[in-house]
A = this chain, B = another copy of it.
Amino acid sequence: MTSRKHATIREIAAAAGVSTSTVSRAFSRPDMLSPETVAEVQRIAAELAYVPNRSARALSTGLHGTIALVVSDIANPFFAPLIRGIEQRCDVADTLVLLGDADESAGKEITLIAKLAHQADGVIVAGPRSDDAGLRALAAHTPMVLVNRHLDGVAEVVVDTARGMRQAVDHLATHGHSLIAYAPGPADSWANTLRHTAIQEAANAIGIDVVVLDNERPTHEAGLALTSRIVESRATAVIAFDDVLGQGILAGLGTAGIAVPDQISVIGCDDTVAARTFPAMSAIAADLEQAGSLAADTLFSVIASAGLGPVPDPIEVPTTLVVRDSTGPVVDR
């Protein structure tokens, strides 16, 4: 049960007794036609279930009505709300979304972007793992928006964790913590550098100490494995690079019989799964869906400017600390 050819602009033209250009214009630039003509053509078109062929349009105009979205790891819950935001924005803009999963590989990411760029009017690259040079080379040929990555001359939407981190550190200090641990993510991750710096500065500002744990991958297993390091560090609170890592830490502490938050407090980041852990995890939250919408909007404007105008200013999505049940004062035993 496949096939059944689609109606073409020519059939509509014939049925409506007008020329093909009139039909074309009825869809792409109705303002050039008399209202009645537009109405009549639209009517007939609807009747014949006519839908403009995007390939033909792309061939003629050079625009595909499609954008590409490349994520570093589709399994990371960080991307779900982001994707939703992008989809929603594209839906109203009548733009389609091509999805690519880089699968945590920088090489694959570059290949993927290059491949998709040919079929799309622009690319959103979320949480890129690639190096600056590779991304820059691609950005030279394709409208591009980066999410959570900075690269001079390329549009970007970043989650500004600084404010949330400050709130987190203050929150912990208020509860009497004077030595907190930071469980980092990938060393080459732009977000990790940002978060680490923000914590350090916030801690310095109010005079408490930070110890950085030894960690690379922001996975649940990595979090589990950190338990002994955390205990050895003598820190009474941990801020994790992201929620997934934080959830692992929570589980590790639980298994070791260490009470949260009575003995150790834990704070996650991104608020992707924090509300569903047990105990529910305090976390630095951002509106990732909005980040997605903004990324899409930004890409549209980059596409519209056709590389002529200036690069849009970086967009920062604000963060706030959401306090749940994984943080509190140290309770004497």
Query: Which residues of A line the B interface, CB within 8 A?
Result: 1-4, 6, 51, 53-56, 58-59, 64, 66, 69, 74-75, 77, 80-81, 83-84, 87-88, 96-101, 103, 115-116, 118-119, 139-143, 153, 220, 244, 247-248, 250-251, 254-255, 273, 275-280, 302-303, 306-307
Contact = CB atoms under 8 A, between A and B. Distances in A.
Q: This chain: how many copies in the complex?
A: 2
A1 B99 contact: no
B98 A97 contact: yes
A181 to B, nearest CB: 20
Given A55-B58, A87-B100, A250-B278, 14 more contacts: A2-B141, A2-B143, A2-B306, A51-B118, A53-B59, A54-B55, A74-B84, A75-B81, A87-B103, A97-B98, A244-B276, A277-B277, A277-B278, A278-B278
A4 B100 contact: no
Contact of A306 (B3, B81, B119): B3
B74 A77 contact: no
B142 A2 contact: yes
22 contacts: A1-B140, A1-B141, A1-B307, A2-B141, A2-B306, A51-B118, A55-B55, A56-B59, A66-B98, A69-B99, A74-B80, A74-B83, A74-B87, A75-B84, A77-B77, A83-B99, A87-B99, A96-B115, A97-B98, A98-B98, A244-B276, A250-B278
- The prevalent SS among residues of A at the interface is mixed
A97 B51 CA distance: 21
Contacts of A101: 83-84, 87
Contacts of A244: 276
Contacts of A1: 139-141, 153, 307
A137 to B, nearest CB: 10
A118 B54 contact: yes
Most buried by B among A1, A244, A280: A1
A303 B2 CA distance: 8
A248 B251 CA distance: 16
Query: Can you list the 6 inter-chain pairs with the closest CB atoms, starting with the nearest?
Result: A2-B307, A99-B99, A55-B58, A55-B55, A251-B278, A75-B80
A62 to B, nearest CB: 9
A276 B276 CA distance: 11
A77 B141 CA distance: 34
A58 B64 CA distance: 13
Nearest to A62: B5
A140 B2 CA distance: 6
Nearest to A277: B278
Contacts of A3: 141, 306-307
A152 B255 CA distance: 48
A6 B118 CA distance: 9
A34 B328 CA distance: 75
Nearest to A142: B2
Contacts of A75: 80-81, 84
A96 B96 contact: no
A138 B266 CA distance: 49
A119 B96 contact: yes
Nearest to A96: B98
